[in-house]
Amino acid sequence: MESLTRHTDYGNEGLTEAQAGTDPYALLAAWITVAESADIFEPNAMVLSTVGADGSPSSRTVLLKGLNDASSPDVGLEFVTNYLSQKGRALAAHDRVSLLFPWYGLKRQVIVSGRAQRTDAITSDAFFDRRPHGARLAAIASDQSEPVDSRDTLDERMAVLEDQYPEGEHIPRPEKWGAFRVVPDRFEFWAGRSKRFHDRLVFARSETSTGWTVTRLQP
């Protein structure tokens, strides 16, 4: 495990206030576009951290499926999941979340904080209908985060659903599955630089103002 003692240089691309601009949605969208062109696997993957009813934190990766900027009535970052999963239950108890985009290959990281709420059913239906056939069936077959006695049990459930809903057949969205939208109140953009002397710019929104204040944090 040579990596534990290695000191990788992070280059000096960094992030200036001028590059960051004044709109955190635009900057996040631009960085996702860079991650896409850099051929990063799942460039829209983000680590969602929640707090359970008992106060325990938990984290897992989900995919960003919608990014609506402040001009949209549905402003926020959207992801889809099972509402009854561990994260779904945590969000029912505590709506505050952290979302972290880990673009190590680009020496970049973005952390978004905000509140998550379920979207309306129409939005969830639209996301569900866009999923490939198999992924729609998997959403029905899986009681996400619940134990199961074997892989065979899951495969048998899938086989039954494949018979019930052949390719091309309308598949209704199960109630347990849908989208969440996180309305951000803070974005932190981190860009690696040499000597571990990195750049960190925070966009924070106050409860009263619609604009964002930009603050540089020490690395």
Ligand X SMILES: Cc1cc2nc3c(=O)[nH]c(=O)nc-3n(C[C@H](O)[C@H](O)[C@H](O)COP(=O)(O)O)c2cc1C
Q: Is 101 or 187 the residue whose CB approaches ligand X more closely?
A: 101
Confirm if 56 and 48 have CB atoms less than 8 A apart: no
Query: Least CB distance from residue 65 to ligand X, whole Å?
Result: 7
Tell me whether residue 216 is one of the annotated catalytic residues: no
Minimal distance in Å, beta carbon 73 to ligand X? Answer: 24
The reply on whether position 101 binds ligand X by CB under 6 A is: no
Residues in 65-94 that interact with ligand X by CB under 6 A: 79-82, 85-87
Contact 191, 212 (CB under 8 A): no
From the CB of 75, what's the least distance to ligand X, in Å?
20
User: Which of the residues 136, 196, 205, 216 is marked catalytic?
Assistant: 196
- Rg over alpha carbons for the chain, rounded to the nearest Å, is 20
Residue of 117, 131, 144, 165 interacting with ligand X (CB under 6 A): 144
* Whole-angstrom distance, CA of residue 104 vs CA of residue 213: 26
Residues touching ligand X: how many (CB under 6 A)? 16
Binding site for ligand X (CB under 6 A): 42, 45, 58, 60-63, 79-82, 85-87, 144-145
Residues forming the active site = 196
